[in-house]
């Protein structure tokens, strides 16, 4: 989406009124949540177990099963597709359509399938962790903001996503040319709002994605 998508983001000097800023407890660390809810993933010909830390770090490879344990067949299928779409939006995988339409497809999948939402958000957390491709990193946070404008995570994952976003609001975490703290503040506000209002009534137009509403 490039410049069009980034136009929805506030400037670094913007003030963020109207939401409660709460320091998350250590219990809401996303690795704690992952240790209880993640699938076991393996890699290589010897099928070595992938550590939680590696599963929560950026990857250029696709995934063969959801990150989160689920018995829902539709979620199992869509989780792998969404991960590819996230990689496309972030520029880590070649896309056949423009970024705006990729974002629309991602937002529509998350909006229409509630069981996919936490999976989608944990994938975004993963792809914005230890990502040293700074343009990709910016797009990942941008996509997080877009999704939060249309649907919240489930209540059981809310505090963990809140904690992840909160910990990136400190400018000390900003990367080269990427004001992560600005994206995080915007995402934090969207998260609080979506938790109160719930998902949008519809999302199927690219102009809704462009304006984040």
Helix, strand, coil distribution of the chain in percent, nearest 5: 55, 5, 40
Q: Look at the alpha carbons of 144, 17, 203, 154 in this order and tell me if their dihedral is positive or negative.
A: positive
Distance separating the N- and C-terminal Cα atoms of the chain: 15
What domains are defined for the chain?
A: 59-211 (1.25.40.530)
User: What are the backbone dihedrals phi and psi of residue 5, each rounded to the nearest 5 degrees, phi first?
Assistant: -70, -40
State the Rg of the chain over Cα: 16
Q: What is the pLDDT of residues 20-48, one digit of tens each?
A: 566 665 555 777 777 777 766 555 554 56
Q: Look at the alpha carbons of 162, 83, 69, 73 in this order and tell me if their dihedral is positive or negative.
A: positive
Q: 3-class secondary structure for 198-209?
A: CCCCCCCCHHHH
Q: What is the pLDDT of residues 159-201, one digit of tens each?
A: 999 999 999 999 998 988 899 999 999 999 999 999 999 998 8
Residues linked to residue 48 through DSSP beta bridges, in sequence order:
43
**Using CA atoms, how far apart are residues 45 and 191, in angstroms rounded to an integer?**
40
Residues linked to residue 49 through DSSP beta bridges, in sequence order:
42
pLDDT at site 108: 94
**Using CA atoms, how far apart are residues 89 and 156, in angstroms rounded to an integer?**
27
Residues linked to residue 178 through DSSP beta bridges, in sequence order:
175
Own/partner pairs, 53-58, CB within 8 angstroms, 24+ separation: 55/126, 56/30, 56/31, 56/125, 56/126, 56/129, 57/126, 57/129, 57/130, 58/126, 58/127, 58/128, 58/129, 58/130, 58/131, 58/132, 58/133, 58/136
Q: What is the pLDDT of residues 137-166, one digit of tens each?
A: 999 999 999 999 999 999 999 999 999 999
CA atoms within 13 A on the CB side of 86: 33
Contact 183, 9 (CB under 8 A): yes
**Can you tell me whether residue 139 is helix, strand or coil?**
helix
pLDDT at site 14: 41
Is residue 9 pLDDT above 80, yes or no?
Answer: no
């Amino acid at each position: 989406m490039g410049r069009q998508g980034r136009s929805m983001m506030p400037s670094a000097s913007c003030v963020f009124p109207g939401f409660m800023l709460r320091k998350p407890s250590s219990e809401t660390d996303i690795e704690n949540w992952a240790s209880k809810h993640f699938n076991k993933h393996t890699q290589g010909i010897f099928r070595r177990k992938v550590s939680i830390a590696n599963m929560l770090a950026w990857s250029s490879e696709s995934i063969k099963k959801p990150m989160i344990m689920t018995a829902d067949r539709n979620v199992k299928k869509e989780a792998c597709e969404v991960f590819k779409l996230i990689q496309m939006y972030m520029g880590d995988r070649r896309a056949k359509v423009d970024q705006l339409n990729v974002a629309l497809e991602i937002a529509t999948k998350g909006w229409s399938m509630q069981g996919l939402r936490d999976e989608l958000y944990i994938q975004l957390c993963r792809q914005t962790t230890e990502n040293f491709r700074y343009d990709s990193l910016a797009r990942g946070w941008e996509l997080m903001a877009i999704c939060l404008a249309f649907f919240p995570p489930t209540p059981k994952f809310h505090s963990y996503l809140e904690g992840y976003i909160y910990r990136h609001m400190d400018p000390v975490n900003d990367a080269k040319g990427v004001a992560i703290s600005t994206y995080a503040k915007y995402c934090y506000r969207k998260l609080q709002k979506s938790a109160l209002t719930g998902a949008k009534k519809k999302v199927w137009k690219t102009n809704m994605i462009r304006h984040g509403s």
